[in-house]
Chains A and B, each alone.
Chain A
Amino acid sequence: MWIIIAAIAVPVLFIIIMYNSLVGKKNKVNNTFASIDVMLKKRYDLIPNLVAAVKNYMKHEKSTLTEITELRAKAISPNISDEEKVDLDNKITGALGGIMVAVENYPDLKANQNFLQLQGAINEVEEQISAARRAYNATVTDYNNAVEMFPTNIMASMMKYKQKPFFAIPETERANVNVNQLFE
């Protein structure tokens, strides 16, 4: 009698544990993806301040400034897909990098206390965005391992869970790291 109960209870228990751990992992992935959004939003909030701070100094970069303002407007508009978002985000990263390099030509601007604070805030947000992406990739690894590895893969295929893609770091951003080092 007990043996029959155990023979039913143990597999059921295993299934519950596997099911819950998979759901937990999936939610963690969604959660960290959302936190990247939060960090990106922080960056979008800083862009108008940056543009306001530099526009009186930067005479030759007017087009870059309008470009970044437009990109930001697009990025915060409500109905864009995730792919578009990532694409816009990469473009903003490039434009921001461009502005930060151009700053080198304006000694007055580099001495401006407000600007320096802003620059610090932007560097911080960039680092936080990168941290959020790394956190996202770590949770995706965890999730993908569970989806692919035995025995959770059986459960995952029944739940129709598929592998999720990593957040690739775009070429422009890799270059950006070097740009930041100019300000050391």
Chain B
Amino acid sequence: MKTIEDLQKFYNEELIKDLEVLETKRKKTLSTVFAVLLPLLAVIAVVMLFFSDKGSNALIFIVVIAIAVIFLIFSLLTRGYVSTFKDTVIHKIVEFIDPNLSYNKSNYVTSSEFMNSGIFLREPDRYKGEDYVRGILDKTNIEFSEINAEYETRDNKGRKSYHTIFKGLFFIADFNKDFKGRTLVLPDTAEKLFKGLGKMLQSWNISRPELIKLEDPEFEKHFAVYGTDQIEARYILSTSLMKRICDFREKSRKKLALSFVNSRLYIALTTNKNMLEPRLFRTLLNFKLVQEYFEDLKLAVDIVEDLNLNRRIWSKQ
């Protein structure tokens, strides 16, 4: 287990060198961005003045195009910087946390795994991801990455728009017990809103397997459990695991959904933040920043310990 003190030492002795190199690159990238975007903004302003008497529709059109162009140019200009940053700094932090872990900035958890989890009912039409980490921690195989899954709708004019199914951290681990069925632990929205009536609504949810009522009131307050087998679900969700899941929910402060399928554990942690990204407008030479990357990664890596997945006292080794 790496502590903050270890990280401080690692930062002072190793990471700082890379960060200094990157800091120069950041300043260079920033000045290029200004050098390109400022004249561009001026051009856009002139074009807008030119079209100002053509009515508001034309203006809106220009603004939309301009924003798209600015975003495109911005990402093109910063791409090299972001990529080098991830290859050096994030890569090193991942290896610092545990040498058995490997990092790939552009890879991600596959969409078939995402659907396998059974947490999400809707098949995504647009599926993206980045910051993929995988490895074996003692006896437990893990992988996780950021995922952004969206579905597409069209209005009556045929215009496409995308809606989020899930955005956040998607985590998969080998579970320490064998089982055949499917057990879902979903955030409890109905019960929070409607109290007792929520239970009834949950049991009528036909798109999910059978509702399972567990005895831990704290756990039941935050989660609704569905499963294909009442006994198997309780075999998986032992009293101690329910407690650990509650503690993890508290610690992560995020919307949390879990599923247990094919002897594997899937966890979907919803976040709005795009994690592990470098900053451009402020300095990189800051320990707090490194600590943030470290903590984002640790949250996922520590699931193995938080949920005691290395405890292999059952027949599965």
User: In whole angstroms, how far apart are the Cα atoms of A135 and B231 in the complex?
Assistant: 6
User: In whole angstroms, how far apart are the Cα atoms of A131 and B232 in the complex?
Assistant: 7
Please determine whether B314 and A134 come into contact, CB atoms closer than 8 angstroms: no
Please determine whether B213 and A121 come into contact, CB atoms closer than 8 angstroms: no
Which of B213, B234, B238 is the most central at the interface, judged by chain A CB atoms within 10 Å of its CB?
B234
Please determine whether A138 and B213 come into contact, CB atoms closer than 8 angstroms: yes
Q: A119-B313, A120-B313 are in contact. List 18 more A-B contacts (CB 8 A).
A: A32-B231, A35-B231, A39-B231, A120-B317, A123-B313, A123-B314, A123-B315, A124-B177, A124-B178, A127-B314, A131-B231, A131-B238, A132-B231, A138-B212, A138-B215, A139-B230, A142-B213, A184-B313
User: In whole angstroms, how far apart are the Cα atoms of A135 and B315 in the complex?
Assistant: 22
Q: Contacts A138-B213, A138-B215; is A131 near B313 (CB within 8 Å)?
A: no
- With beta carbons under 8 angstroms apart, the residue of A35, A134, A180 that contacts B215 is A134
Render A125-147 as a binary contact track against B, CB cut-off 8 A, 1 for contact: 00110111011011101100000
Total residue contacts A-B, CB cutoff 8 A: 55
- Chain A's closest residue to B178 (CB) is A124
Please determine whether A124 and B234 come into contact, CB atoms closer than 8 angstroms: no
Q: For B232, what are the chain A residues with a Cβ–Cβ distance below 8 Å?
A: 131
A-B contact pairs, 25 of them (CB 8 A): A32-B230, A32-B231, A35-B231, A120-B313, A120-B315, A120-B316, A120-B317, A121-B315, A123-B314, A124-B177, A124-B178, A127-B314, A128-B231, A128-B235, A130-B234, A131-B235, A132-B234, A134-B214, A135-B234, A138-B213, A138-B230, A180-B313, A183-B313, A184-B311, A184-B313
Count of chain A residues near B, Cβ 8 A: 24
Q: For A123, what are the chain B residues with a Cβ–Cβ distance below 8 Å?
A: 313-315
| Secondary structure of the A contact surface, majority rule | helix
User: In whole angstroms, how far apart are the Cα atoms of A151 and B234 in the complex?
Assistant: 30
Please determine whether B234 and A131 come into contact, CB atoms closer than 8 angstroms: yes
Q: For B215, what are the chain A residues with a Cβ–Cβ distance below 8 Å?
A: 134, 137-138
Q: For A138, what are the chain B residues with a Cβ–Cβ distance below 8 Å?
A: 212-215, 230
Which of A121, A130, A131 is the most central at the interface, judged by chain B CB atoms within 10 Å of its CB?
A131
A117 within 8 A of B: yes
Within 8 A of B (CB), among A77-116: none
Render B228-253 as a binary contact track against A, CB cut-off 8 A, 1 for contact: 00111111001000000000000000
- Chain B's closest residue to A120 (CB) is B315
Please determine whether A120 and B231 come into contact, CB atoms closer than 8 angstroms: no
Q: For B234, what are the chain A residues with a Cβ–Cβ distance below 8 Å?
A: 130-132, 134-135
User: In whole angstroms, how far apart are the Cα atoms of A128 and B234 in the complex?
Assistant: 8
